[in-house]
Structure 1
Amino acid sequence: MQVELFCPNCSCSFAASPDTPAAEILDRMAEGGPWYALGDGETFEDMIFSTLFVCGAIRCTECGEAVSVSEQSLGQLTMEVLGSW
């Protein structure tokens, strides 16, 4: 399962496993972007939760709009099912 941060306005996205260590997330953002201002936490999921709890939204680094948080694998499965219907 992958958790994805996706901006519906400009299509900027970032995905990782919810249990990915925070240090790895920060390294990936620094290397390849996009860079999101995420809160403290031990894992990607913790970082997302703390940001949403404190700020109410995670902002896109490209356009400043609020991003959506979704489980990427579930979204792909849904699209495959809808596509075959």
Structure 2
Amino acid sequence: MIQILLRLLAKLAAVIEAAAEREQKKCEQALKEAAALVSKANSHRNATRQGRQVAAALKEVVRGPAPVIPGGAEVDPSTVPQQPAQ
């Protein structure tokens, strides 16, 4: 009777171990997919940062140098009225 019980427990242990291995493989696959998504998100974030830097540089170029009053200090461009683009 005890030997039958031991055999059943051994079979149960084998089934549980196989299920644990399958679950581990699923988790590893999910982890790989998550790592790929993080990598993709980081590349998008880097592209966005670079785009913002380019946009800021273009704004700086379009705005031009700050107007200078002869004999005075530089003028803040945000206080100078802008002419509409033609």
Q: Which TM-score bucket, shorter chain as reference?
A: under 0.3
Q: What TM-score do the two structures reach when normalised by structure 2?
A: 0.22
- The higher-RCO structure (CA 8 Å, 6+ apart) is 1
More helix by share: 2
- Greater CA radius of gyration, 1 or 2? 2
Q: What TM-score do the two structures reach when normalised by structure 1?
A: 0.22
More strand by share: 1
